[in-house]
Structure 1
Amino acid sequence: MMWTSSTVVTKSECLLEEYATYGNAQCWNGAWTTSYTAGPSATKMETWRSRRDSAKLCSQFLSSSTWRVITELLSGLKTLRPLSELLDMVKPPPERGTSIQVHSTPFGCEAFLNAVTRGAVCGVVGKRPSLLLTDTATALGSEGAPVFTDGPNKELVGTVVCSVSWWRGEWVGLTLAAPLRAVLAAKLRVPPLHPPRAPASPLYSKILQIVDRTTLLVRCGAAWGAGVWLGRGHVLTCAHVVSSHASYKVSLYCQNKKETAMVRYKTKDDKAYDLALLYTNPDYWTHLTPAEFAEEPAEKGESVLAAGYPYFNENNLEDLKPTVTSGHVNNVSPSMIQTSCCVQSGFSGGPIFRITKELKVEVVATIVSNAKAQTGASFPYINMAVPSRAFIRSVQHFLTERDESVLSPIENNKEIVQSQWRLLPYRSKI
Structure 2
Amino acid sequence: MAEDGTAVPWELPGCVVSVSDPSEADVEPSSCSGAILCRSPGLVLCPAAVLVPYLQPDVTAWPRGDALPPSALRPGLHISVLQAAPPPEAVQQHVACPLALLRCDAFARALPGTLSTAEESTEALPWFCWLRVPGLDTPGGTWTPWAPAATLRKGAALLTCGTPFGALCPELFLNALSTGVLSNATGPHRALLLTDARCLPGTQGGPVLALTPASSPPRLVAVVAATAGCQGGQGLGLALLCSLHALLQSAHGVLPELSSLPPPLPLPDARGSPTPRCAVLVESGSSWGSGTLVAPRLLLTCRHVLQLGAPLRVTLRHSTTCDTILQARLVFATSEASPFDVAVLELQDSVPSFQPPDLATTFQPGEAVLALGFGALGRACGPSVTGGVLSAVVGTPPVMLQSTCAVHAGSSGGPLLSARDGCLLGIVASNARDNAAGTTYPHLNFCIPISLLHTPLARYRCSGNPAAFAPLNAASEGAQAAWRLQQRPPSKL
Tell me the TM-score normalised to structure 1 length.
0.75
Deviation at 1:29, TM superposition (A): 5.5
Deviation at 1:95, TM superposition (A): 1.1
Question: For residue 371 of structure 1, what is the aligned residue in structure 2?
Answer: 432
Secondary structure in structure 1 of the residue aligned to 2:365: coil
Question: For residue 382 of structure 1, what is the aligned residue in structure 2?
Answer: 444
More strand by share: 2
Question: For residue 195 of structure 2, what is the aligned residue in structure 1?
Answer: 134
Question: For residue 393 of structure 1, what is the aligned residue in structure 2?
Answer: 455
1:79 to 97, 118, 125: 97
Question: For residue 290 of structure 2, what is the aligned residue in structure 1?
Answer: 226
Alignment of 1:194-273 (within 5 A): 199=267, 201=269, 204-205=272-273, 207-208=274-275, 211-212=276-277, 214-242=278-306, 244-255=307-318, 256-269=323-336, 271-273=338-340
Q: Deviations over 1:88-124 (max 9, x none)?
A: 8753125123322222222344243321111121211
CA 1:306–1:424 in structure 2 vs 1: closer, same or farther (change >3 Å)? Answer: closer
1:291 to 354, 357, 375: 357
C-alpha separation between the residues in 1 aligned to 2:282 and 2:160?
Answer: 33
- Alignment gaps of 5+ in structure 2: 1-19, 57-69, 78-92, 103-128, 132-142, 255-260, 488-493
C-alpha separation between the residues in 2 aligned to 1:197 and 1:168?
Answer: 38
Q: Tell whether 2:32 aligns with 1:24.
A: yes
Question: For residue 55 of structure 1, what is the aligned residue in structure 2?
Answer: none
Q: Tell whether 2:420 aligns with 1:420.
A: no
Tell me the TM-score normalised to structure 2 length.
0.66
- Aligned sequence identity (%): 25
Secondary structure in structure 2 of the residue aligned to 1:391: helix
Contact preservation (8 Å) 2:236, 2:442: yes
CA 1:311–1:198 in structure 2 vs 1: closer, same or farther (change >3 Å)? Answer: farther
Amino acid at match of 1:216: V
Alignment of 1:293-332 (within 5 A): 293-295=359-361, 297-311=362-376, 321-332=382-393
Question: For residue 91 of structure 1, what is the aligned residue in structure 2?
Answer: 147
C-alpha separation between the residues in 2 aligned to 1:370 and 1:424?
Answer: 9
Contact preservation (8 Å) 2:314, 2:327: yes
Amino acid at match of 2:341: D
CA 1:182–1:48 in structure 2 vs 1: closer, same or farther (change >3 Å)? Answer: closer
Amino acid at match of 1:201: D
Deviation at 1:330, TM superposition (A): 0.7
Larger radius of gyration: 1
Secondary structure in structure 2 of the residue aligned to 1:24: strand
C-alpha separation between the residues in 2 aligned to 1:383 and 1:197?
Answer: 38
CA 1:125–1:200 in structure 2 vs 1: closer, same or farther (change >3 Å)? Answer: farther
Deviation at 1:339, TM superposition (A): 0.7
Amino acid at match of 2:369: V
Q: Deviations over 1:252-303 (max 9, x none)?
A: 33332111111110112473210110011234x12222221012x2111111
CA 1:171–1:411 in structure 2 vs 1: closer, same or farther (change >3 Å)? Answer: farther
Q: Deviations over 1:141-162 (max 9, x none)?
A: 3323222223552433222222
Contact preservation (8 Å) 1:272, 1:412: no
Secondary structure in structure 1 of the residue aligned to 2:190: coil
Deviation at 1:197, TM superposition (A): 8.4
Deviation at 1:177, TM superposition (A): 0.6
Q: Deviations over 1:317-337 (max 9, x none)?
A: xxx542221111111121111
CA 1:30–1:202 in structure 2 vs 1: closer, same or farther (change >3 Å)? Answer: closer
Deviation at 1:174, TM superposition (A): 1.3
Question: For residue 14 of structure 2, what is the aligned residue in structure 1?
Answer: none
Deviation at 1:180, TM superposition (A): 2.7
Q: Tell whether 2:403 aligns with 1:339.
A: yes
Shifted more, 28-37 versus 270-279: the winner is: 28-37
Question: For residue 408 of structure 1, what is the aligned residue in structure 2?
Answer: 470
Secondary structure in structure 2 of the residue aligned to 1:408: helix
Shifted more, 397-406 versus 75-84: the winner is: 75-84
Contact preservation (8 Å) 1:245, 1:263: no
Secondary structure in structure 1 of the residue aligned to 2:485: coil
CA 1:105–1:222 in structure 2 vs 1: closer, same or farther (change >3 Å)? Answer: farther
Amino acid at match of 1:247: A
C-alpha separation between the residues in 1 aligned to 2:404 and 2:22?
Answer: 46
C-alpha separation between the residues in 2 aligned to 1:355 and 1:400?
Answer: 31
Alignment of 1:162-177 (within 5 A): 162-177=226-241
Amino acid at match of 1:413: A
Question: For residue 103 of structure 1, what is the aligned residue in structure 2?
Answer: 161
CA 1:197–1:340 in structure 2 vs 1: closer, same or farther (change >3 Å)? Answer: farther
Contact preservation (8 Å) 1:267, 1:411: yes
Q: Deviations over 1:216-247 (max 9, x none)?
A: 121223332222212251111111111x0413
Question: For residue 244 of structure 2, what is the aligned residue in structure 1?
Answer: 180
More helix by share: 1
Q: Give the alignment's Cα RMSD to 1 decimal.
A: 3.7
Secondary structure in structure 2 of the residue aligned to 1:142: coil
Q: Deviations over 1:354-394 (max 9, x none)?
A: 145xxx42111111111111133211111110111122211
